[in-house]
Amino acid sequence: MQYCETCGGPVTDDFVRVFGTDDGEVFACLDCATMREIAAGGAATGAETTAR
Ligand SMILES: [Zn+2]
């Protein structure tokens, strides 16, 4: 089990693989961010959810 770097909440391995960094870190989860923010890359980059 992995944990969100921001809030410490548990995240699944699949979640990390899909949304996390290459190092296996996740900076947002459904406990501390919205699915929209996570899908936009927030889980891999922290709060950097600005649109590109
Ligand atoms: Zn979190």
Which helix (H) or strand (E) covers residue 13, if one does?
Answer: helix 13-19
Burial (CB count <10 Å: 0-12, 13-18, 19+), residue 33: buried
Q: How many independent structural domains does the chain possess?
A: 1
Residues with pLDDT less than 50, the chain: 49-52
Q: How many whole angstroms from 43 Cα to the centroid of ligand 1?
A: 8
Please report how many Cα atoms fall inside a 13 Å half-sphere around the Cα of residue 47, on the Cβ side.
Answer: 2
Separation of CA 15 and ligand 1 centre (Å): 12
Structural domain contains residue 26: yes
How much distance in Å is there from the Cα of 5 to the middle of ligand 1? 7
Neighbours of ion ligand 1 (CB under 5 A): 4, 6-7, 9, 29, 31-32
Note whether residue 24 is domain-resident: yes
Q: 52 CA distance to ligand 1 centroid (A)?
A: 23
Domain membership of residue 40 (yes or no) is yes
**β partners of residue 4:** 26
Asked if the structure places residue 50 within a domain, the reply is no
Range of the domain at 26: 2-45
Residue 52, domain member (yes or no)? no
Is 19 inside a domain boundary? yes
